[in-house]
A = this chain, B = another copy of it.
Amino acid sequence: MAKQNTVFKDAFNRCLGLLENSDSLASEPELGNQLGVSRTTVRAILTRLEEIGLIEWSKRRKAVLRKPSAADYFPTEETDSLSEIIERSFMRRILAGGAEPGMQINELELAREIGTGTTSVREFLIRFSRFGLIEKRPNSHWVLKGFTPEFALELTEVREMFELRSAAAFAHLPNDHPAWAELDAIAALHREILADVDNRYREFSELDEKFHLLVHQASRNRFIVDFYDIIAIVFHYHYQWNKTNARQRNARAMEEHLAYIEALQSRDPAKIEGACRRHLKSARETLLQSIN
Contacts and interface: CB of A to CB of B under 8 A. Distances in A.
Contacts of A155: 223
Contact of A158 (B119, B127, B130, B223): B223
A226 interface: yes
A126 B7 CA distance: 21
A163 to B, nearest CB: 12
Contact of A161 (B154, B161, B220, B222): B161
Contacts of A224: 154, 158
A157 interface: yes
Interface string A105-125: 000000000000001001100
Contacts of A226: 130, 132
A155 B221 CA distance: 8
Interface of A: 7, 119, 122-123, 126-127, 130, 132, 139, 151, 154-155, 157-158, 161, 165, 220-224, 226-227, 230
Given A123-B123, A154-B223, A157-B221, 10 more contacts: A119-B119, A122-B123, A130-B130, A130-B226, A154-B221, A157-B223, A158-B221, A158-B224, A161-B161, A223-B227
13 contacts: A7-B139, A122-B123, A123-B126, A126-B126, A126-B127, A130-B130, A132-B226, A151-B222, A154-B224, A157-B221, A158-B224, A161-B161, A223-B230
